[in-house]
Amino acid sequence: MRIDYLSWIVCLLLGVIIYGAGPGLIDDAENRVLDLQFRHRGVVEVDSRIVIAGINQETLAWAGRPMFAWGPVYAELVQAVKNASASALLLDLVFAPGSESVIREHVKETAGRMQVELPPKFLREIGFDKPFRSALLELVASGTSLIAGFAWEHGQPVFSDPALLHIAKKDNTGYFNLATSHDGVIRHVELFGQGPAGPVFAVSMAAALRSGVTQVATPAQALQQINFRGPRGTVRTVPVHQIIEAYRSGRPQPADLTGKIVLLGFTDITDFKATPFGYMPGVEVHASILDNILGNRFLQPLTPGHELWGVVAMLVGLLVIARLSRTYAIVIGSLIFIAWLGIAVFWFDPLVIPVVRPMLLLLALLACERFIAYRAIYLDRRRVREVFGRYVSDSVVKEILASNDRDFLQGKRRRLCILIADIRGFTTFSEQHDAHAVVEFLNAYFARLTEIIMNNRGVVDKFLGDGLLAFFNAPVEHADFADDAIKAAIEIVRYTESPEFKAICHGADLKVGLAVHAGNVVFGNIGSERKAEFTVIGDTVNACSRMENLNKEYKTSIIASGEVVGLVKMPVKWKFIEKTSLRGKANEVELFTIDNLEEKNV
């Protein structure tokens, strides 16, 4: 299987795993990214028609009474809101039913223990909620919408908690319930649901519909993603006691409540909700939802279909580019990664672009591409070592590996120097010695010649009996390849005259003849799947072989052609032999040898 197709298979498997896995873990990660996007964006403008009347610690201390006795305080607040001509009052409070009856029973029991007779009229007048109810009735009569809330679950009766709700019209009530994610953080709101008697609205949706501040259309989808306007304290908040004091003294309100939607709720005592900005009072969450409804500012997540098409287009493009250049694919993939994150962060409001799944798939693909690319490099390097490790020196192998050019494996034409060495007198030597001694000699001889050739950046092509074929300037190209070939030839001749050579041939009178010729040849990895070798073919090789045979006639150790002499740059004492035609060749060749070869500097 080709590595290119392996990339497609890996991509498909990763996509199935990432997009087909359980949503919990990845969705939680996506939510974490969304929280970071909120915090990066920071505070944005809130609809100015929304004001929170907050019950905080300062207000509690100012009231100086327990919460069950706050009826008169609420009554004054309602009167202040009515007088300020607010468009609506949303009560983000749940009032426990029967509080007055409990108080009456408690007073009646206490009077009985003390043997005090209380008139029925006195008992009827006891209660703290009566002023509050009266103020609410006046508020509704004045035309200001009263929005009350209740706890509700799908399929349950709407008015399960009837305290005070009967004062507000049925259409002016809604449920408080907010949707939470897997981690318990509020990120969505269900604006409406279906009850036994028909549709039921969330309290913020009811406030938007009944306030009259603007025309509001019910969204097609009930579940919406909240576009929080900022952390706690972002929505304009005025403590309740300041509103009441302004009402009592006739001073202007701290916040202009005319035409505003006023939300009454706790701000720093209780009812805290987990949000992307951390914990904030529930009344502020409802304020953000109300802002989103009035301004049509809910976040708009990218649909799964658009996300899938975008991811598929991105990955297919990268895989196609990877077939042409894996390096370009990695660079472009990294740029896509950065661009996707940038768009996700800076186009966050109102468009929510998913980050975790696409980026996880992209990173996984890039990692697999790198792994596959490095494996391809590893296989290529191993193949090069297998092909050339026996023919060239380690330094040449390193040069090959450092080069991106692998065309020579399939075949290439280049000007090379061919060197052929042959032992004269070897036939007699082999007849006079046993097979073990002959093989031992050849192994030692060829080992030393191979070392000399490799040290001079040459390639040992093949051994032909007692002969050797080598070439220079391939696979790595060098400007001084002719000098390399001549240096190798001189070193071989000097080796054959050394005591070391005399020792391995047991004192036999053996001479080595060498020929060096230059010309254009074809080289490459030639053979079958079971056996192949890196070799050269061409007329230059044949001509060099015929040149080597002339060493016997001229009684020389080295014969070099005029083509080689013209390429050699180092100082050499050349001696012209003659210009002659080689057997089977029409063109004449100039032949040279090296004068005074026994000298160290030739």
Which range, 113-122, 124-133, 248-257, 353-362, has the best average confidence (pLDDT)? Answer: 248-257
Closest listed residue to residue 55, CA positions, set 201, 243, 190: 243
Q: Are residues 223 and 306 in the same domain?
A: no
Q: How far apart are CA 588 and CA 602, in angstroms?
A: 27
Question: Average pLDDT of the chain?
Answer: 82
Q: What is the mean pLDDT of residues 270-298?
A: 92
Q: Are residues 423 and 536 in the same domain?
A: yes
User: What's the confidence (pLDDT) of residue 2?
Assistant: 46
Q: Are residues 178 and 313 in the same domain?
A: no
Answer with the one of 298, 322, 346 that is the final residue of a domain.
Answer: 298
DSSP line for 339-372: HHHHHHHHTTTTEE---HHHHHHHHHHHHHHHHH
Q: Are residues 462 and 531 in the same domain?
A: yes
Tokens 């030393």 found at: 448
The residue range of the domain holding 414 is 405-594
User: What's the confidence (pLDDT) of residue 364?
Assistant: 73
pLDDT digits (tens, 9 = 90+) for 209-239: 888 888 888 888 888 999 999 999 999 999 9
Residue type for 315, please?
L
* CB-side neighbour CA atoms (13 Å) of 10: 20
Neighbours of 507 (CB within 10 A): 7
Q: Are residues 350 and 426 in the same domain?
A: no
Asked if residue 105 belongs to a domain, the reply is no
pLDDT digits (tens, 9 = 90+) for 395-439: 556 655 655 555 555 678 899 999 999 999 898 899 899 999 999
User: What's the confidence (pLDDT) of residue 333?
Assistant: 76
User: What's the confidence (pLDDT) of residue 326?
Assistant: 66
Q: Are residues 316 and 232 in the same domain?
A: no
Stated as kind and residue range, the H or E segment containing 241 is helix 240-249
Q: What is the mean pLDDT of residues 337-353?
A: 79
**116 vs 558, more confident:** 558
Domains: count for the chain: 3
Structure tokens at 200: 């039921």
Closest listed residue to residue 270, CA positions, set 278, 262, 261, 280: 280
Asked if residue 123 belongs to a domain, the reply is no
Beta bridge partners of 559: 515
pLDDT of 569 over the 50 cut: yes
User: What's the confidence (pLDDT) of residue 94?
Assistant: 74
Residue type for 76, please?
E
First to last CA, the chain: 56
Q: Are residues 196 and 322 in the same domain?
A: no
pLDDT confidence bin for 3, thresholds 50/70/90: very low
Q: What is the mean pLDDT of residues 355-374?
A: 74
Asked if residue 52 belongs to a domain, the reply is yes
Q: Are residues 432 and 554 in the same domain?
A: yes
User: The domain that contains 497 carries what CATH number?
Assistant: 3.30.70.1230
Q: How far apart are CA 468 and CA 391, in angstroms?
A: 12
pLDDT digits (tens, 9 = 90+) for 231-271: 999 999 999 999 999 999 988 888 889 999 999 999 988 88
Q: How far apart are CA 462 and CA 523, in angstroms?
A: 13
**560 vs 271, more confident:** 560
Which range, 288-297, 381-390, 408-417, has the best average confidence (pLDDT)? Answer: 288-297
Q: Are residues 328 and 418 in the same domain?
A: no
Dihedrals phi, psi of 415, to nearest 5 degrees: -80, 120
* Burial readout 82-102 (b: 16 or more C-beta within 10 A, e: otherwise): bebebbbbbbbbebeeebbee
pLDDT digits (tens, 9 = 90+) for 152-204: 766 665 554 455 656 767 778 888 888 787 788 999 999 988 877 778 889 89
**278 vs 339, more confident:** 278
Neighbours of 162 (CB within 10 A): 9
Least confident of 3-7, 285-289, 562-566: 3-7
Q: Are 106 and 123 in contact (CB under 8 A)?
A: no
Asked if residue 121 belongs to a domain, the reply is no
DSSP line for 366-395: HHHHHHHHHHHHHHHHHHHHHHHTTTS-HH
pLDDT of 102 over the 70 cut: no
Q: Are residues 378 and 481 in the same domain?
A: no
pLDDT confidence bin for 57, thresholds 50/70/90: very high
3-state SS of 540-599? HHHHHHHHHHHHHHHCCCEEEEHHHHHHCCCCCCEEEEEEEECCCCCCEEEEEEECCCCC
Q: How far apart are CA 335 and CA 333, in angstroms?
A: 5
Q: Are residues 465 and 427 in the same domain?
A: yes
Asked if residue 114 belongs to a domain, the reply is no
Q: Are 281 and 266 in contact (CB under 8 A)?
A: yes
User: What's the confidence (pLDDT) of residue 286?
Assistant: 94
Q: Report how far Cα 188 is from the mean position of its chain's Cα atoms.
A: 27
**345 burial type by CB count under 10 A (0-12 exposed, 13-18 middle, 19+ buried):** middle
Answer with the one of 245, 267, 298 that is the final residue of a domain.
Answer: 298
**378 vs 465, more confident:** 465
Q: How far apart are CA 166 and CA 159, in angstroms?
A: 9
Q: What is the pTM of this model?
A: 0.61
User: What's the confidence (pLDDT) of residue 79?
Assistant: 93
Q: Are residues 365 and 431 in the same domain?
A: no
Answer with the one of 383, 415, 437 that is the final residue of a domain.
Answer: 383
User: What's the confidence (pLDDT) of residue 8?
Assistant: 64
**How far are the Cα atoms of 33, 177, 473, 477, 562 from residue 482, in angstroms, in the given order?**
65, 89, 8, 11, 12
